[in-house]
Amino acid sequence: MSPLVFIFIISMLINLSHGAMQMPYMTSDPREVSGKSFDYIVVGGGTAGCSLAATLSEKFSVLVIERGGSPFGDPLVEEKKYFGYSLLKTDEYSSVAQSFTSRDGVENYRGRVLGGSSAINGGFYSRASEEFVKKAGWDKDLVQDSYKWVESKVVFMPELTQWQSVVQFGFLEAGFYPYNGYNLEHTQGTKIGGSIYDQCGKRHTSADLLGFGRPNHITVLLNATVKSVIFDGNKTRAVGVRFMKSDGSSSKSYKVHVEKRRGEVILTAGALGSPQILLLSGIGPEDHLNDLNIPVVVNLRDVGRRMSDNPAISLLVDRFSQNRTLEPPQVAAIAEGYKYILESEVLPTNITTTRISIAAKIAFPKSRGRLKLNSTNPRENPSVKFNYLGSKEDLEACLEMVLLLQHVARSETVTFYLGLQNREKLLAGDEELKSFCKDNVRTYYHYHGGCVVGSVVDEDYRVSGVRRLRVVDGSTFEESPGTNPMATVLMLGRYQGIKMLKEREAEKEGDESFLSPQGSPQPQP
């Protein structure tokens, strides 16, 4: 049997084991949806948006508007051997990863493709802690069911690569106990997490989840950027959205609406996109909106506030560039109290060379930042400052985190694998460590906030001050869940979708109880 035939058979078996899927209709022509109405408009076909749309489609019509293109057939997205290349190939309008630099001077990325950041990240899958779920006030059983729904479709147990096996022992040598083996739960110690890469090295993004809804109930509009939410004449209810082509070729605006009685607009555009769209729609701090001559719909002070990104430090443990096989993270080390998270990967530095990184993040940073609009152009990245290491507690935590990283990098297993010549002088002393942290702080790409529950949205993710408008994504989080937030954002889309279906069912039953069999109102007590 040839290798290609073997790979094809394995791929078919994987697809069968994860259930058959039929993808919905997709188009990049705005005229095909302009002027139409849907039960739900989901703005952002990302990590949360696709699982939410698939769930809502079980009973209702859903339009997903995605500012990027399709991930299907794109090797930079789908093939593990090209892991990280999408971050090297960015442009202004069409690349699957869009780069931005925070006002802190730290380079960062956001997904711009159906599947969102699940199409450009390391694919590491790990659930939130029980404490996070409890603090969020979520239904524990529904959370478990929602995680399992996602996992049955796009999550796989990885086969450890050589380097991941090495760094796993490095974590253990550095004291990250106990060893938990393959484990999807967020628990102290060293573990192997799930992966959205299957055994053939193919990535399964959140876009795959659309194929597990009712495809005839879903329409996906690609390469379209939402300009703003449309409200009714009283500015109290969302009735649709305005959008334009993403490619910059035209400024022509189009409109699409939700059904009049109970239709909803749901923002799932991520921690940068969702607060940006609220601000462009006139929902946010009045003074900031006035500065840009945006008519105020709701003076909501906390839109764009309480932004947070986990400060991270990355050590390059191989002294020079080589040409290794690229490796996304498969193993995580979780410190006592979940205080620090460590992972490692082999990343491309260009098309032909790689470096090995061991990186750690502060799980619960105290520093907070803010997002603002640079302009009223929806294609332009907003301005954001995270204030990395801005608090004394964060800076002190970074010192301890660097010491832990050094323990891993200098472990016997790691140094033997890389060669003793790779040993470097240890950083020592608070001042030297502080200087190193300030000079080398970077992102773990787990930024969140801007539409936090309790300040911008309520516990049902409804935006304060208006009806029929919600935000369901990582912008609602005050802290990043688990080792990596992807699993919980995927779960959140499913979780909130089920809750919304139950709400609609309850509303329907209420309507039926109010009407007699002939359709006339029943006498009220």
Domain boundaries, the chain: 22-155+203-308+370-386+447-506, 159-192+311-364+389-440
462 φ, ψ to 5°? -85, 135
Q: What is the pLDDT of residues 291-345, one digit of tens each?
A: 999 999 999 999 999 999 999 999 999 988 999 999 999 999 999 999 999 999 9
Q: Which pLDDT does position 425 carry in this prediction?
A: 72
Write out the two tokens for 514.
């109010």
Q: How confident is the model at residue 523 (pLDDT cuts 50, 70, 90)?
A: very low
Q: How confident is the model at residue 248 (pLDDT cuts 50, 70, 90)?
A: confident
Residue type present at position 161: T
Q: What is the pLDDT of residues 31-87, one digit of tens each?
A: 999 999 999 999 999 999 999 999 999 999 999 999 999 999 999 999 999 999 999
**Residue 444, annotated as binding a ligand:** yes
**Residue 110, annotated as binding a ligand:** no
The CB-side HSE value for 513 (13 A sphere, CA atoms) comes to 7
CATH code, residues 159-192+311-364+389-440:
3.30.410.40
Q: What mean pLDDT is predicted for residues 110-135?
A: 98
CATH code, residues 22-155+203-308+370-386+447-506:
3.50.50.60
Distance CA 117, CA 363 (A): 19
**Residue 297, annotated as binding a ligand:** no
**Residue 67, annotated as binding a ligand:** yes
User: Is residue 285 within 8 Å of 299, Cβ to Cβ?
Assistant: yes
Write out the two tokens for 495.
């979780």
Write out the two tokens for 140.
């524990």
Write out the two tokens for 446.
């787990």
- Alpha carbon separation from 71 to 96, 116, 120, 334 (Å, rounded): 8, 9, 10, 32
Distance CA 316, CA 500 (A): 46
Catalytic positions, written as ranges: 446
Residue type present at position 19: G
Find residue 170's DSSP bridge partners. none
Write out the two tokens for 30.
């705005």
Distance CA 227, CA 275 (A): 12
Q: How confident is the model at residue 278 (pLDDT cuts 50, 70, 90)?
A: very high
Write out the two tokens for 298.
């709701």
First to last CA, the chain: 77
Q: What is the reported pTM?
A: 0.94
361 φ, ψ to 5°? -130, 150
